[in-house]
Amino acid sequence: MEIKAFSELFPLFNTASPETLEWLLSVAVDHNYPRDRAVLMEDAWGNAVYFIVSGWVKVRRLAGESAVTLAIMGRGDFFGEMAILDESPRSTDVIALSNVELLSVSAQRFIQTLFKDPQLHHRMLQLMVQRLRLSNVRFQMRHQPPAVKLAKTMVMLAEHYGQATGQGVEILDIPHTDLAQVSDISLEETRKIVEKLESKDWVTIEAERQALCITHLKQLTHLAGRV
């Protein structure tokens, strides 16, 4: 991957120096995973930072035999940075929701880079604060109607990872179980709301491509804003 494309794809690196980007690309390792494959096991956190070049993943919290989806991430995002900073054990894993291409940078090399490039260090702090704010938004919405919660989740996914098309903004057709858990609503509520959105032509689903197109993002954003 060229330096310019790397910087444009990952907002984390849009203020990093060319020297930093060149060095990171030289030490990065490429990984490809099929859908439903474990990308990162609970005992592997802290070994590296992972950058999503293409595809979608979910982060799950493990509790015995059960697992709950905490977050869904797509192209241009990254994960694993918190574990290399606090070095604490994790009871979470990461699963591919589609075919996924990742780049990884070892913990030691990434930390070295943060110390060498103050701009990258500052940008990392900014993005971590943004993630905290998103967590606060989810907490503040815990008493909102299910439709508002689900709309908020879909809008946030579209804003962060969506691809513009002639019909609207396309995201992954996320399994309803994962969508329900991330939105903090029931599976049955999720199914009914998605069906309602389809009937109103606010979204269209292409099952073969595992794609969901938000055809009326403005209306969905308005619904999500009803807090």
SS (H, E, C) 10-78: CHHHCCCCHHHHHHHHHHCEEEEECCCCEEECCCCCCCEEEEEEECCEEEEEEECCEEEEEEEECCCCE
Tell which of 139, 172, 192 closes a domain. 139
Number of domains in the chain: 2
Which of 12, 27, 26, 29 lies closest to 114 in space, CA to CA?
Answer: 12
For residues 78 and 166, state if they share a domain.
Answer: no
134 lies in the same domain as 146 = no
Q: Are residues 114 and 185 in the same domain?
A: no
The last residue of one of the domains, among 139, 160, 177, is 139
Please tell me whether residues 109 and 180 are part of one structural domain: no
CA distances to 58, 76, 94, 102 from 61, rounded to whole Å, are: 10, 22, 9, 21
Q: What is the CATH number of the domain that holds 213?
A: 1.10.10.10
pLDDT at 227: 46
Are the beta carbons of 155 and 200 closer than 8 angstroms? no
Residue 223's contacts (CB-CB under 8 Å, 6 or more residues apart) are 147, 148, 151
CATH number at residue 132: 2.60.120.10
Both 179 and 90 in a single domain?
A: no
Residues 73 and 150 in one domain: no
My answer on whether 103 and 185 are in the same domain is: no
Same domain, 96 and 111: yes
Whether 59 and 13 map to the same domain: the answer is: yes
Q: What is the pLDDT of residue 180?
A: 97
Q: From 102, 120, 139, give the residue that closes a domain.
A: 139
- Spell out the per-residue pLDDT of the chain, length 227, in tens: 888 899 999 999 988 999 999 999 999 999 999 999 999 988 788 899 999 999 999 999 988 888 999 999 999 999 998 888 776 667 899 999 999 999 999 999 999 999 889 999 899 889 888 888 888 887 788 889 999 999 999 999 999 999 999 999 999 999 999 999 999 999 999 999 999 999 999 999 999 999 999 999 999 999 998 54
Find the domain containing 164 and state its range. Answer: 142-224
Shared domain for 65 and 134, answered yes or no, is yes
Residues 120 and 164 in one domain: no
Which residues touch 139 (CB under 8 Å, ≥6 apart)? none
For the whole model, what pTM was predicted?
Answer: 0.92
- Tell whether 27 and 132 lie within a shared domain: yes
